[in-house]
Amino acid sequence: MAHNVSRRSFFKTSFMGAVAVAVASAAAAKETFNPLTAEAAEIVAPIKETSEFPYTVDAKYQRLPGNKLLYQRVFDPEENKSPLKFKHDDVSKITGKKDTGKELPRINAETLGIKGRDATLTETGGIFFSHHDGTVLPLRKDELGWRELEVALDVAAWSVEYKFNGFTAPGSGPGGVIAHYPFNPVTNESGTEPVVIQGMYSWDNSKVVERRGQGRQWKFDSGEEASRIVKKAARFLGADLVGIAPYDDRWTYSTWSRPNLKPFKLPDGSGRTEYFPTDPYKFMKGEVETFGQTVFDADWEKYAGFKPKSVIAMVFEMDYEAYRTAPSILHSAAPGKSYSNMGEVAFKVANFLREIGYYAIPSGNDTGMSIPIAIQAGLGEAGRAGQLITQKYGPRLRIAKVYTDLELVPDKPRSFGVREFCRLCMKCADACPSQAISHEKEARVLQPEDCGPSENPYTEKWHVDSHRCLSFFAYNGGDCGNCISVCSWNKIDQWQHDVARIATQIPLVQDAARKFDEWFGYNGPVNPEERIESGYVANMVKDFWKDTEPTK
């Protein structure tokens, strides 16, 4: 006799059955969203919302100074006096594996022509930046994925971020863009002296003062209506995902800072001048000299003219095809493209708010920490590798935000099983060439002794050694991206994410869930050497350049 059991109650009574059905149907529909797996995930692993920030923040927590962020410290002359140190020189006790990252700083130093000692943070950062602006070709320049062709795509992808968004490396706060070749609108001649203008992350709120003076501040019927309209505008203007967080002082850097620049005459006989944060003439001789940083108190009233009430957090997807080529420099074009887009969209969203009479500060990585803001805005969870993981794109994304004095109704933090999955998965930690990502099973409240100078203690997470990561970037050419590329949540299609969600509820299959990707041929080898030596990266680079999308 046939039992009249609905699919819903079947799922409720059989977790294993749910997984079996989900996997079978997912396998049958490899490239598509699958409603059956989505329904199974909703029943077996329903999304949970919390009203508070979902991870422990100890009472001893203090805001991180913006000038202590890794990419800001590069410009601190003190950081150029001694070799870059890892938090743990030997991580084999944690990983049980060979410590492949140990020799990296010496390799970095040799790319600068330095023999016999390890590189400083400044030298390591200098090499990293010079790969991204095409000044120095990577050591691996003869390998597919690191050739001058791929370097050119990387430089092009980053060019808007570097040339137009503003010098907004993390923590820079109010800043500007240097127009190196301005023209005189009266004579139509190009000038030889640079001028500083506002970039995309412009702090210019003079329009708001004007609008309010004209009595033209738009009044919404309710906070709910304001939130809906602002989200619609942000999506229309180019954000892939949008959430609203309440303004929370904890995530604003305690200081803002930016590197000092000096003018240098170009050696091309043009008589033109450019500003640089490092001495370009010394750099060409293998020496890195920086000019320090200017540090500001993080004073909203003084620099922005208002105290924020809400933060609009926006997610920008990074290209899947490019990310499959990680750790090639071709993959680095994907974050470059998203960083470049972030500035444009954040600028537009800020200008929408300014037009209707509300203060707005568009922000990339500067001013405050984007990941906890995005978590508060309900966009995703924090994974093992320290990245935001969303349901739609996993960690394959970048985040921009807009601070405003418009009162919006915040979203709630949401959990869909990432933290539980990360406890057992560890794929990113296994794929990390510099062994920077902790293999500890549980996330925990990190103590000062666990953290380097750019890593904030007293919050609950897994440790990631940013010095090891940057060292590999500099050695590798471009950056790396293995941790994002191999993550089970990063694929374009939805069904694998739903299977992963279901698996978080079933300890026996969690390990198998990690292997689904490998069974279905996604993401390539996890072992970092094998990714390259097996030819996987080279094949993905060839695939990338094949024209698979219509161009007309």
The nearest distance, CB 21 to ligand SF4, in angstroms, is 22
Question: Measured from the CB of residue 27, what is the shortest distance to ligand SF4 in angstroms?
Answer: 20
Q: What angle do CA 383, 361, 452 make, to 5 degrees?
A: 40
- Using the minimum distance from each CB to ligand SF4, give the nearer residue, 293 or 332: 332
Q: Report the nearest approach of ligand SF4 to the CB of residue 123 (Å).
A: 18
State the DSSP code for 504: T
Which range in 253-261, 345-353, 363-371, 421-429 contacts ligand SF4 by CB under 6 A? Answer: 421-429
Residue 425 within binding range of ligand SF4, rule CB under 6 A = yes
> Least distance in Å: CB of 354 to ligand SF4?
36
Residues 439-478, interacting with ligand SF4 (CB under 6 A):
464, 469, 472
Looking at beta carbons only, is 401 or 491 nearer to ligand SF4? 491
Q: Are 352 and 237 in contact (CB under 8 A)?
A: yes
334 makes contact with ligand SF4 (CB under 6 A): no
Rounded distance, CA 401 to CA 244, Å? Answer: 9
- Interface residue with ligand SF4 among 130, 227, 293, 482 (CB under 6 A) is 482
In the DSSP assignment, the letter for residue 182 is: -
Separation CA 539–CA 552 (nearest Å) = 26
Contact 410, 247 (CB under 8 A): no
Q: Candidates 76-84, 125-133, 191-199, 425-433 — which segment interacts with ligand SF4 by CB under 6 A?
A: 425-433
Q: Does 36 bind ligand SF4 (CB under 6 A)?
A: no
Of 385 and 397, which has the nearer Cβ to ligand SF4?
A: 385
Q: Which position among 432, 499, 502, 532 is part of the footprint of ligand SF4 (CB under 6 A)?
A: 432
Least Cα distance to 395 among 415, 373, 377, 418 occurs for 418
* CB nearer to ligand SF4: pick between 405 and 517: 517
DSSP line for 78-135: GGGSSB---S-S--HHHHSS--TTTTHHHHHHHHTT--SSPPBHHHHHHHHHHHHTTS
C-alpha span between 172 and 259 (Å, rounded) = 8
Token reading at 437: 């990502």
Are 349 and 312 a contacting pair, CB within 8 Å? yes
Tokens 């923040």 identify what position?
A: 57
Residues numbered 353-392 forming contacts with ligand SF4, rule: CB under 6 A: 383-385
SS3 track for 342-364: HHHHHHHHHHHHHHCCCCEEEEC
How far apart are the C-alpha atoms of 202 and 367, rounded to whole Å? 12
CA proximity to 367, closest of 400, 340, 341, 338 = 400
Quick one: 293 or 496, whose CB is closer to ligand SF4? 496
Q: Which is nearer to ligand SF4, 400 or 432 (CB)?
A: 432
User: Where on the phi/psi map is residue 524: left (φ > 0), alpha (ψ -120 to 50), or beta?
Assistant: left
SS3 425: helix
Residue among 21, 295, 428, 541 that touches ligand SF4 (CB under 6 A)? 428
Least Å from the CB of residue 125 to ligand SF4 = 14
- DSSP label at 53? -
- Least Å distance, CB 389 to ligand SF4, is 6
For ligand SF4, the closer CB: 138 or 481: 481
The CB-of-308 to ligand SF4 minimum distance in angstroms stands at 30
On whether the CB atoms of residues 240 and 317 are closer than 8 A, the answer is yes
**Cα–Cα nearest to 247, from 406, 113, 108, 132:** 406
Q: Out of 68, 324, 427, 501, which residue is the one contacting ligand SF4 (CB under 6 A)?
A: 427
Q: Which stretch binds ligand SF4 (CB under 6 A): 235-243, 336-344, 422-430, 447-455?
A: 422-430
Do residues 518 and 58 lie in contact, with contact meaning Cβ atoms separated by under 8 Å? no
Q: How many residues of this chain bind ligand SF4 (CB under 6 A)? A: 26
Residue 522: CB minimum distance to ligand SF4, A: 12
- 437 sits near ligand SF4 (criterion: CB under 6 A): yes
**Binding pattern to ligand SF4, positions 484-503, x when CB under 6 A?**
--xxxx--------------
With CB under 6 A as the contact rule, the residue among 174, 372, 433, 478 that binds ligand SF4 is 433
The yes or no reply on residue 483 touching ligand SF4 (CB under 6 A) is yes
| The two three-digit tokens of residue 423, written as one number | 């406890």
List of residues contacting ligand SF4 (CB under 6 A): 383-385, 421-422, 425-428, 431-434, 436-437, 464, 469, 472, 480-483, 486-489
